[in-house]
Amino acid sequence: MAFGSSLGSSLENRVALVTGAARGLGFAIARGLAESGASVWLNGRDEDALAAAARAIGPQARILSFDIGDDAATGAAFERLSAEGGLDILVNNVGRRDRRPLAELGRADMDALLASNLVAPFDLARR
């Protein structure tokens, strides 16, 4: 799934950050970006899974492990990105889920879901 080829363009010299990139949709997006020529930073919290994903994608993939809900860690990550040339593409793919029935969820559970799935990606995009 190379993105640039279907659009008649390439993503060479572009740098992307994909959150939740260790597996699933995030991994597929990261691989597609790399196949289209982009350098891709893989984000997540499971460093072993990120390392496996980076090996599968190839030399265009690098690991940037941090929790996007941790403001200090996010700030440090963006300082590193800036020092290494910046960022052209952000894919906010991270998401938390709670499969319990709604009747079993409390307000704190919903606050945690909103913080992870709405507030943290919003804050990340604003950087």
Number of domains in the chain: 1
The C-alpha angle with vertex 42 and arms to 26 and 11, in degrees rounded to 5, equals 80
Which amino acid does the sequence have at 35? E
pLDDT in single tens digits along all 127 residues of the chain: 555 555 556 899 999 999 999 999 999 999 999 999 999 999 999 999 999 999 999 999 999 999 998 999 999 999 999 999 999 999 999 888 899 999 999 999 999 999 888 998 888 898 8
Q: What is the CATH number of the domain that holds 118?
A: 3.40.50.720
Helix (H, G, I), strand (E, B) or coil at 32: helix
Domain that holds residue 21: 3-126
pTM of the model: 0.86
